[in-house]
Amino acid sequence: MAPKYTSLIFLFLLLNSFQYSFGGGHDYHDALRKSILFFEGQRSGKLPPDQRIKWRRDSALHDGASAGVDLTGGYYDAGDNVKFVFPMAFTTTLLSWSIIDFKRNIGNELGNAVKAVKWGTDFLLKATAKEGVIYVQVGDAFSDHSCWERPEDMDTLRTVYKIDENHPGSDVAGEIAAALAAASIVFRSLDSSYSNLLLDRAVKVFDFANRHRGAYSSSLHSAVCPFYCDFDGYQDELLWGAAWLHKATRRRQYREYIVQNEVILRAGDTINEFGWDNKHAGINVLISKEVLMGKAPDLKSFQVNADAFICSILPGISHPQVQYSPGGLIVKPGVCNMQHVTSLSFLLLTYSNYLSHANHVVPCGSMTATPALLKHIAKRQVDYILGDNPQRMSYMVGYGPHYPLRIHHRGSSVPSVAAHSARIGCKEGSHYFFSPNPNPNRLIGAVVGGPNLTDSFPDARPFFQESEPTTYVNAPLVGLLAYFSAHPN
């Protein structure tokens, strides 16, 4: 069991945590409430009467009209005004997984969390309503990114992009299938007819993704790249979609699909990656639950991969793709580092629960990773986000006494319609982009891209890698905060 090495990692985590701790602990439930509230600030379309972020107004009410379809609703992915369906679907999948695994810990925020899922699935149903066609993006990203204007004033091109049998997109279709299947589990006990609708659509979308194989960034390269290119291929999304359909339906066909396609679809590739583009670590953790319960010995290789993923991100071990900052933050190459922090921490916590129920530990060479150790690592990452870090600042807007004030977000940084009723045009907004003043509208619950490898953070809009929030950072954080609100120690 090598307890000596496990104890050393515990000591590293404890010393690191105490060094930067505020000393008073964190209000995880308050952070949970705010992390869910954030999604209301990202809503597109006609806002409901119970909208709680009041500085937002209706926007993009004619989305889809140019293609003769209704594509209103859904989420803006980040600080821009484009609806990218690939990350939107992943956000919906992770929100659903957060509720599925941590429902009992969410408490009185369950209703709001479910509404956040439904805002995503309602749009995904619209995007997949037409037989043989899936709409995967609304808005010309280059046109949008050349302007700095609030979504309520948006006059950039709302071009509609689609995939079909001649222009495949198994990656985005596979993710949509996963999102709809996962959400069907969320609604099973709340609204059976809606749950059935989601699951039926998930089956059809997955069949489409599997029959017409190809990457959507090959079919739509000029539209989706470099914003949400699929850099890791579509194979992982097919396994991911099948895994969620198996969980939602219990149909043997999906289990057989996973077994038969494990090697062909490269299940063992890049096992320490998980995010909107790469699902490998998530696939392995999700499928491993049944293996650990003794129900799926034929899927044992996925548990082997999940164990290897755990060993690959332990602190104190040198790895080429996973580093820890001096303050203890997980750091990986690429844009928006916090997406890796929350998604990988979510898997650590989820897998620790699966291990606990199975009375299992993970052997990592000369040491052993226990469920308790994995929870400690995940909690350390959450605490870092909430303020236990060298900057002594929370990276969630509205949480704690010190948090980012100048986030890279059009709606937050430009005066609201209530404060400035006259239209603010495409280039007129540049004044607010370059302003040193704090954003006039607080996007409560938004978690920004975060600090770099040296724990430094520029609280300035032009530094979008550090200061831009995204929906897929918050989605897995919902599950983490739900758990730690019920288990703070």
Active site residue ranges: 408, 459, 468
In the chain, % helix, strand, coil (3-state, to 5) comes to: 50, 5, 40
Q: Strand runs (DSSP E) across 344-448, as ranges?
A: 362-364, 367-369
Terminal-to-terminal C-alpha distance of the chain: 24
**Under 8 Å CB-to-CB from 361, ≥6 apart: which residues?**
1, 355, 368, 369, 370, 371
CB atoms under 10 Å from CB of 88, counted, come to 31
Among residues 397, 429, 424, the alpha carbon closest in space to that of 42 is found at: 397
Whether a cis peptide bond, with omega within 30° of 0, leads into 436 is no
Q: In 139-218, which ranges are E strands?
A: 160-164
Q: Are strands 133-138 and 160-164 parallel, antiparallel or unpaired?
A: antiparallel
The separation between CA 377 and the C-alpha centre of its own chain, rounded to angstroms, equals 19
The H or E element spanning position 124 is helix 110-127
What sign results for the dihedral spanned by CA atoms 129, 131, 136, 142? negative
Q: What is the DSSP string of 331-360?
A: E-SSS-THHHHHHHHHHHHHHHHHHHHHT-
Q: What burial letters (b/e) apply to 127-147, b meaning 16+ CB within 10 Å?
A: bbeeeebbbbbbbbbebbeeb
CA–CA dist 91, 229 (Å, integer): 16
Q: How many other CB atoms are there within 10 angstroms of residue 210's CB atom? A: 17
Strand, coil or helix: what is 324? strand
CA 86, chain centre distance (Å): 11
Q: Is 418 exposed, middle or buried (0-12, 13-18, 19+ CB in 10 A)?
A: exposed
CA distance 79 to 54: 18
Sign of CA dihedral 353, 31, 468, 327: negative
Tokens 């209000």 sit on residue: 27
- Measure Cα distances from 316 to 219, 220, 222, 230 in Å: 42, 42, 42, 31
